[in-house]
Structure 1
Amino acid sequence: MQLTATTRGILALVVGIAVFSLQDVILKRLSGDYPLYQAMIIRSLTAAPLLLIIVRVLDGRLSTIITPNWGWMLARGLLNFVAYTAYYLGLAAMPMADTVALFFTAPLFITIIAALVFKERIGPTNLFALGAGFAGMLMIFNPSGSVFDPAALLPVLGALGYALTQLATRVLGRTETTAAMTFWGNLTFLATALALAAVFGTGAHDGASHPSLAFLTRGWQDMPARDLLLFMACGVIAAVGLSLLTYAYRTAPSSSVAPFEYSFIIWGVLWGWLFWSQLPTALAWTGIALLIAAGLLVIRAEARNEKAAPEGAA
């Protein structure tokens, strides 16, 4: 059966999201034994040659990674590093589904920052989506409950960092290719993880009792071959997932494929239940539903704005 470009794009994105979700499972399972920077170093070293291949295939030449905008590329990579570090530190302490859902406040932050920086108008639909999204976030936080874990703020910080990364991508995308930006992002991940290893690698800061803090400050650990292979698999997952997502957004309109990124929440619920017997509470389910609805409203409004924009305005 002949598939349309949009259908191929959607399928590639859904498979790419499923692949990326496996990285979350690996890092959460090993977060109690190793530091995050150790995982990032091994992941980045494994992904580097694969990403060079991706640059060669997608851009046709490796020279696209050489750019006079290298400072801005590093800045974007640093924002992305902060985003995912915060997300994974939260994942070490929180149920997987809740962490993923809170990270998906990113479209709401993108709307707010775009209005402040690019002077984009926030219409009634987006205003309603913002209110619904942050109400959903509070439901997952459950501030009236007997215990509030500050780790719940980490995926929200990650979402803010991701939103800033995406807006930087919007600007750099005028002159830089997606594959080149990803290569520089991986390079920044490696350099920053090495800096964290220099600070915490000796084990002088061991002993933190909170899972998130321990995942950040634990000293470098010896690992059996199985765990080394799992961390190396994260590099392969990152490269394969990136290729699928890049293909998706190059093949089909972003307004058609972007809503399917929320399939990540399905995997978050499924893996959390299978591996850790964790399911969201009834209140958290309601919050997750509100966050998904709010994100889809923002994406839909963005798609309408793109269609209404004059030719060449994008």
Structure 2
Amino acid sequence: MNDNLRGACFMMGSMATFTCNDAIIKFVAQGMPTFQMVFLRGVAATALLLALAHATGALSKPIPRGDWKWVIGRSLAEVVSFFPFILALTHMPLANVTAILQVLPLAITAAGAVFLGERVGWRRWTAISVGFAGVLLIVRPGGADFDRWSLVALAAVVTITARELLTRRLSPDVPSLKVAIFTAVGVMGLGLAISLPSGWASVTPANWALIALASVFIIGGYLFSIMAMRVGEVAAVTPFRYTALIWGLLLGWAIFGEWPKPLTLIGAVMVVGTGLYTLLREGRRAPAPLPNAPR
């Protein structure tokens, strides 16, 4: 398995766990303040990450002085992007907000080519563009389902793109677990700052269980997304963000009864086809070592 395939697997794992976490947040937010839930999830996730980092020895590994600016910058980008994302998530169907975020592969690939100097061949541009066309069929800008909350979701795209570029700047000596801890603490702080002035609601045992489950999923999302952007080429790894769309469609239907329209299903098929094409093509490529590997 070459670095691009490893990165693709990490990215698919990230999209699966992130979307499962998003579905839980959207479900629990129906009965309690959203940012209260975000804070409580952050406490559990941070505790689990600290325990995991201690058990693996990552907690004792120092972050090189030159990497601190990238770690802090990435954490800030995560916090800034989370706010518009969570607003869109709680006001839109899960599949719709997930679909809008699928503009990210195109944005991140373009940013990687411009700011990181990564080479992007015509086949990759074509695959990403076809996947993006599938997303447009799902989102249908200008249609009844495209409103101001769709624009809020698009606002998150810019900062998420910045977050991924900052992740690429991390040196191999930075443990991914430590980066995930900073991320969890940042989002937890945002949840606390917003939830305290508005007051808290009582938490049922069922919601406690769901919050605990969400904390496990968000840890997977954090770690897999960090490792995905530290191994493989941006243009090869980012198309697998499209797999989040499939999880969004399935969970939206199973949990919230949001049955996709025919055009949505056609777009989903295009997205899946793009991912399969990229996966098969990368499987034929010779392994190419890269300077940044997940730790």
Counterpart for residue 284 of structure 1: 264
| Alpha-carbon distance change, 15 to 185 in structure 1, aligned in 2, over 3 angstroms | closer
TM-score normalised over the length of structure 1: 0.72
Unaligned runs of 5+ in 2: none
The CA RMSD measured in Å over matched residues stands at 4.1
Contact 1:138 1:287 in 2 (8 A): yes
| Alpha-carbon distance change, 83 to 272 in structure 1, aligned in 2, over 3 angstroms | same
The structure 1 residue matched to 2:59, chosen from 62, 80, 84, is 62
Contact 1:105 1:291 in 2 (8 A): no
**Following superposition of structure 1 onto structure 2, how do residues 236-247 of structure 1 map, counting pairs within 5 Å?**
236-239=216-219
Distance 2:213 2:239 in 1: 27
| Alpha-carbon distance change, 139 to 298 in structure 1, aligned in 2, over 3 angstroms | same
Distance 1:225 1:27 in 2: 15
Residue deviations 1:239-275 (CA, integer Å, cap 9, x gap): 355567789999x978998776654333322221122
The structure 2 residue matched to 1:192, chosen from 186, 190, 193, is 190
Residue deviations 1:41-89 (CA, integer Å, cap 9, x gap): 111111112111222344x242225553434322201212233433332
Q: Secondary structure at the match of 2:200?
A: coil
Contact 2:92 2:149 in 1 (8 A): yes
Distance 2:6 2:121 in 1: 32
Counterpart for residue 44 of structure 2: 46
Residue deviations 1:27-53 (CA, integer Å, cap 9, x gap): 111223333321221111111121112
Residue deviations 1:9-33 (CA, integer Å, cap 9, x gap): 9988767755544322211112233
| Structure 1 letter corresponding to 2:197 | T
Distance 1:258 1:300 in 2: 15
* Count of equivalent residues: 289
| Alpha-carbon distance change, 296 to 258 in structure 1, aligned in 2, over 3 angstroms | farther
| Alpha-carbon distance change, 67 to 220 in structure 1, aligned in 2, over 3 angstroms | farther
Contact 2:75 2:183 in 1 (8 A): yes
Counterpart for residue 202 of structure 1: 197
Q: Does 1:274 align with 2:254?
A: yes
Give 1 or 2 for the bigger CA radius of gyration.
1
| Structure 2 letter corresponding to 1:176 | V
Distance 2:125 2:221 in 1: 32
Contact 1:87 1:158 in 2 (8 A): yes
Distance 1:270 1:83 in 2: 24
| Alpha-carbon distance change, 296 to 159 in structure 1, aligned in 2, over 3 angstroms | farther
Counterpart for residue 169 of structure 1: 167
| Alpha-carbon distance change, 299 to 230 in structure 1, aligned in 2, over 3 angstroms | same
| Alpha-carbon distance change, 78 to 243 in structure 1, aligned in 2, over 3 angstroms | closer
Deviation at 1:182, TM superposition (A): 0.7
Q: Secondary structure at the match of 1:34?
A: coil
TM-score normalised over the length of structure 2: 0.76
Deviation at 1:123, TM superposition (A): 3.0
